[in-house]
Chain A
Amino acid sequence: MRTAIAALRSAARLGTARVANPRRTYATLSPHTPPPTTPYEVFDEPSKIRQRDRAILRLREHEAVAGPGVVDYLREDIAERLAERVEDLRVPPGSILEMTSHAGQVTKVLQEVLGDELHPSQEAGGVLGAEKRKWWMVESSDGALHRDNDFEYPPTRIRASMSDFLVEPEIAALRGKLDAVVSGSGLHWIGDIVGALTQMRHLLKPDGVFVGAVLGGDTLFELRTSLQLAEQERRGGIANRVSPMINPTDAPSLLTRAGYTLTTVDVEDVTIHYPSAWELMSDLRDMGESNAILGRRAMVSRDVLLATEAIYKELYGVEGGVPATFQMIFMIGWNPGPNQPKALERGSAQQSLKDVL
């Protein structure tokens, strides 16, 4: 071996190095390669579907033994906040589709606050009560989609991929026909979020509205940092355990790039207290929110888990528990329509602002 290296060295010195199997250290994109046309994939969607299905199976098992064990508190909280924003619309939407609906938590809350009576301006042919509000739910996991049957007004359930749903014939038929698309949780598992937002816009009527919430920013930063420190100390390196997430400051540009106008974005932080990191991790799993990054390490060793729990408690622990932050980014965007208020053309002002101020 040593002689081979010596031979190589002398060859290199002579400038005639010919190695049969050279070890390449860096790969760079050639300037002549066109940029990739498919978006960069971050998440493992089939795994996500399996995780959600399994979470529902575990829930059923738990229900059979120990009564209800639903871990919907986070989704319900997001749904309530989202519903407040939908309620603020001047004309409540007559047809509502919920994307990445899970078990339809947002639909449920909206049905409670909106009912099924339409606004007089939406009545078909001026006959009051001739039509009712229509509901759809779209989710990629069968288990979650059919989990609940206690809807006041049964929605149409459609199973479709999270990031590529317009190819589904049932959804393609709704193109340009919906008053509103809402999404409570699940957008954080879509890598190409602009693509998904664009597809949702295609479903909307002109002047239709998208109201969505996505977890992002500082969500679960305590768990992220504790896991990183624990793996750094136990194994000498870190792995991708908690998803990369969008920043609140990115949200307006995401909406604009997807073609929405009159965008509104706001952020709400929610801190949930758990007895320890164990409960947080098992609840995340029961919500179907386990790690689903492509190329993730399949498991966490017991050693790292033990270390994580100790570090989480030390760094973030409060009296009787540990906090976990969830940052919700609420996004409202409108599909461009003919009667929408628009900014006037530049230079068309009749009065100088200088005189007014």
Chain B
Amino acid sequence: MPTRFKDTQPLKTLAKAATSCSAQSAAYGRCIGKSYQEVSKDMCQAEFLAFKECVQKAVGRKW
């Protein structure tokens, strides 16, 4: 049985992936920053999904 890769530092992996998606991250941040005093659920769904997709691609797995 091939040994499966175990990620011992998941936070670092996520951090690295997120840094490579800084454009999408900034877009999401701007969306929240526009009305941060009135935040509701899924207010910036579209921006977040774009960000998340980019991160998922960089990490190489989906959740």
Contacts and interface: CB of A to CB of B under 8 A. Distances in A.
Interface of A: 229, 232-236, 276, 278-279, 281-282, 285, 302-303, 305-307, 309-311, 313-315
B25 to A, nearest CB: 4
Contacts of A305: 11, 14
B32 A229 contact: yes
Interface of B: 11-12, 14-15, 18-19, 25-26, 28-30, 32-33, 36, 39-44, 48, 51-52, 55, 63
B19 to A, nearest CB: 7
Given A234-B48, A306-B52, A314-B32, 5 more contacts: A276-B19, A278-B15, A278-B18, A306-B18, A314-B30
Given A233-B40, A310-B26, A302 B32 contact: no
B14 to A, nearest CB: 6
Given A233-B32, A233-B42, A278-B18, A303 B25 contact: no
A315 B36 contact: yes
* From B18, B26, B40, B52, residue with most partner A Cβ within 10 Å: B18
A229 B28 contact: no
A317 to B, nearest CB: 8
Main SS of chain B's interface residues?
A: helix
Contacts of A236: 40-42
Nearest to A235: B41
A276 B41 CA distance: 24
A314 B14 contact: no
Contacts, number: 76
A232 B32 CA distance: 11
Nearest to B33: A314
- By CB atoms of chain B within 10 A, which of A279, A281, A305, A311 has the most? A311
Contact of B55 (A232, A279, A282, A306): A306
The 6 closest A-B pairs by CB, nearest first: A314-B29, A236-B41, A278-B15, A310-B29, A310-B25, A314-B33
B44 A233 contact: yes
A232 B26 contact: no
A309 B33 CA distance: 13
Nearest to A229: B39
A306 B51 contact: yes
20 contacts: A229-B39, A232-B39, A233-B39, A233-B43, A234-B41, A234-B48, A235-B41, A278-B11, A278-B12, A278-B15, A305-B11, A306-B18, A307-B32, A311-B29, A313-B29, A314-B30, A314-B32, A314-B33, A315-B32, A315-B36
Contact of A313 (B12, B14, B25): B25
Contacts of A315: 29, 32-33, 36
A236 B33 CA distance: 17
B26 A313 contact: yes
A276 B16 CA distance: 11
A235 B45 CA distance: 11
Nearest to A300: B11
